[in-house]
């Protein structure tokens, strides 16, 4: 699967405002890191939860392309999130209690 196909998969599981960062840090410090080993950070807003919930995925490109956004359930973290909660690679969700519950119900119903 290529990057565009993966982004479309994410859109098709009812997310909008898909934002993706690629690379290790500011500048060209990552030129010695192989492209599939570089860091990806994804932020999405699930449809129907404007202002009530956000999700984030972080990890390596190769893991991102293999991750199944249709079946995986994100880890709920504080709202607003604390950096120590999401500094490790993973899939995260935060928001209002109602927003988080709606998002989790939608994810569990499609699994």
pLDDT reported for residue 110: 82
pLDDT reported for residue 28: 65
Whole-number Å distance between alpha carbons of 45 and 61? 21
Does the pTM exceed 0.95? Answer: no
Q: Per-residue pLDDT for 75 more than 70?
A: yes
What's the total number of domains in the chain? 1
Domain with 93 in it? 3-110
Q: Per-residue pLDDT for 83 more than 70?
A: yes
**pLDDT tens-place string over residues 18-29:** 999 998 876 667
**pLDDT tens-place string over residues 21-73:** 998 876 667 788 899 999 999 999 998 777 799 999 999 999 999 999 999 99
């Amino acid at each position: 699967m290529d990057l565009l196909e993966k982004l479309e998969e994410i859109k098709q599981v009812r997310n909008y405002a898909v934002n993706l960062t690629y690379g290790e840090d500011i500048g060209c410090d990552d030129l010695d890191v192989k492209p599939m080993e570089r860091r990806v950070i994804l932020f999405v807003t699930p449809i129907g939860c404007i202002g009530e919930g956000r999700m984030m995925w972080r990890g390596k490109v190769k893991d991102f392309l293999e991750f199944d956004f249709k079946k995986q359930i994100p880890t709920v973290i504080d709202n607003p999130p604390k950096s120590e909660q999401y500094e490790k690679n993973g899939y995260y969700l935060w928001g209002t209690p109602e927003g988080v519950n709606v998002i989790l119900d939608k994810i569990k119903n499609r699994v």
